[in-house]
Amino acid sequence: MQAEIATPIPAVAAYRSPRARAIALLGPLTVAAGIVWAILQPYRLTLLHPHGQGFWWLAIEPPLLVIAAGAFFALVVARPLIADLEGSDGTA
């Protein structure tokens, strides 16, 4: 029976280089910027007042595109890039 509540994190997993941290923050910061943009300029979101607008006019809006780009970067681009940076010998 183990008395410890939490197990220690290995030093390799706990340490991230500043470059990897910066890359990991790019996606969430972009999503946050898109949300702030949508809050500060709600008239750009025609979903709030769709008077006779078609699907593409409602779906393709700049704040929504910024949010989607940030999410895409965080999920598809940053994860493999960070894994590659952490797996390299540190010379990159």
Residue that has been written with the tokens 């078609």 in this structure: 54
pLDDT in tens, the chain (92 residues): 666 777 666 555 556 788 989 999 999 999 999 999 989 988 777 766 667 777 777 778 888 899 999 999 999 999 999 988 877 655 54
CB under 8 Å to 90, separation ≥6 — which residues? Answer: 17
Count of C-beta atoms within a 10 Å radius of residue 35: 14
Q: Residue 35: what pLDDT?
A: 93
pTM of the model: 0.70
The Cα–Cα gap between 83 and 60 comes to 32
Which SS3 state, helix, strand or coil, does residue 29 take? helix
Structure tokens at 35: 């949300």
Gyration radius from the chain CA atoms: 20
